[in-house]
Amino acid sequence: MTHTDDAVAPEQEHFDALIADDSRIEPRDWMPEAYRKTLTRQISQHAHSEIIGMQPEANWITRAPSLKRKSILMAKVQDEAGHGLYLYSSAETLGTPRPVLNDQLLTGRAKYSSIFNYPARTWADMGAIGWLVDGAAICNQVPLCRASYGPYGRAMVRICKEESFHQRQGWEILYELSHGTDAQKKMAQDAVDRFYGPALQMFGPPDADSPNSQQSMAWNIKRFSNDELRQRFVDMIVPQAEALGLTLPDPDLVWNEERQHYDYGELDWDEFMSVIKGRGPCSVQRMKRRREAHENGAWVREAAAAYAERQAARAAEAANHEDHETETAPSSQRPAAQLIGA
Ligand code: 3HC
């Protein structure tokens, strides 16, 4: 089908109407290539973040201070693996197979969240990651439950429920430490000091430097800009930090009566750019570990593929057998439709 330059193709018109109506786009629907591309980019980056994000916490499973803490942390890391899988499945519905997406991560062509390039040095970091990193993730991701692309929005609903539990467990770790011995309180404060800035950067660059936001908001993928969500997060954590008895490491953090929001200081955007270009403190280590895990898991993928092949062969054999039985069965046992030649 061809269209003149100024005529809007009917399929584009239908897509535009669905977006204007705040309806959902489903995999069967026609969509502009740019919409497909931006979603594949965002969802796959998100999936990669969940998978790489398992590393800083997995390092602490064997060092958790009690069996209870260990099992909670293990469950959390497993949730993150699950989030990665829902998100890869959601991205696949847009047409790019998972091995291709995985290859983009392993070859360093795809981004993942800047936050996971920072080290987790102490047990208190498990608390700061839960409270600040998962807290920022929830703030950013709750609006994504209403993303215009159906499979993404639906995946986000379950992810956000689990993230709420993650944030609570982080808060609880920090609360216990900040109400413990002086050394424990110091450890909690040190963790918050190191994770505060990078957690605020998770929302992405300032709006003026965010090339994708405007179009993503016009398509109802993102519902709020990076700065709007960052502000919402700052407003949320200031009273929470007070309840913890900890301080946030920003001398410019002050309530602005006129704006009815907290003002906060400039973040280190040079550091952010350097981290997302693969020069973060743990970038090399994270990618090395991911490649090793992928290689070590080769036998699992081979076994799963061999099993799937065998199941498919058995199903085909059973179907053949059934056809043969039906053809040779006495006419009284054949389905009526077959007897009348339908
Ligand atoms: N880390 C790494 N890259 C980032 C980034 C960050 N914190 N913030 C932005 N970027 C990248 C963007 O991906 C984009 O790169 P590209 O154009 O080369 O793909 C570039 O910087 C410009 O940024 P934009 O603001 O224009 O990009 P977006 O409109 O895509 O907004 C986003 C960035 C807010 C992160 C958005 O993609 C988003 O909301 N994504 C979904 C949520 C997500 O991926 N979260 C990651 C954390 S997952 C997590 O926290 C797991 C949990 O268990 C803790």
Query: What pLDDT is recorded for position 324?
Result: 75
Residue nearest to atom 24 of ligand 1 (CA): 210
Q: What is the pLDDT of residues 55-104, one digit of tens each?
A: 999 999 999 999 999 999 999 999 999 999 999 999 999 999 999 999 99
Residue nearest to atom 51 of ligand 1 (CA): 50
pLDDT value at 4 more than 60: no
Query: What pLDDT is recorded for position 331?
Result: 56
Q: What is the C-alpha separation between 286 and 117, in angstroms, rounded?
A: 7
Token reading at 10: 């009917």
With pLDDT > 90 as the criterion, what percentage of the chain qualifies? Answer: 91
Instruction: Return the SS3 of 49.
Output: helix
Residue 149 β-bridge partners? 25
Instruction: Return the SS3 of 4.
Output: coil
Residue nearest to atom 20 of ligand 1 (CA): 210
Kindly state if the Cβ of 155 falls inside 6 Å of ligand 1.
Answer: no
CA of 83 to the centre of ligand 1 (A): 16
Token reading at 161: 């429920």
Residue nearest to atom 17 of ligand 1 (CA): 212
Q: CB atoms < 10 A from the CB of 336, how many?
A: 7
pLDDT value at 337 more than 60: no
The ranges assigned to domains in the chain are 11-297
CATH class of the domain defined by 11-297:
mainly alpha
CA of 84 to the centre of ligand 1 (A): 15
Q: What is the C-alpha separation between 124 and 106, in angstroms, rounded?
A: 30
Q: CB atoms < 10 A from the CB of 158, how many?
A: 14
Instruction: Return the SS3 of 120.
Output: coil
Instruction: Check if the beta carbon of residue 191 is closer than 8 Å to that of residue 124.
Output: yes
Token reading at 196: 């505060």
Kindly state if the Cβ of 76 falls inside 6 Å of ligand 1.
Answer: no
Query: What pLDDT is recorded for position 164?
Result: 94
What type of residue is 167? Q
∠ CA 81-156-120, rounded to 5°: 45
Residue nearest to atom 33 of ligand 1 (CA): 204
Q: What is the C-alpha separation between 329 and 331, in angstroms, rounded?
A: 6
> What is the residue-wise DSSP string for 70-112?
HHHHHHHHHHHHHHHHHHHHHHHTTT--HHHHHHHHHTT-S--
Kindly state if the Cβ of 57 falls inside 6 Å of ligand 1.
Answer: no
Please choose, from the candidates 195, 209, 207, the residue with its C-alpha nearest in 3D space to the C-alpha of residue 231. 207
Lowest mean pLDDT among 23-37, 238-252, 321-335: 321-335
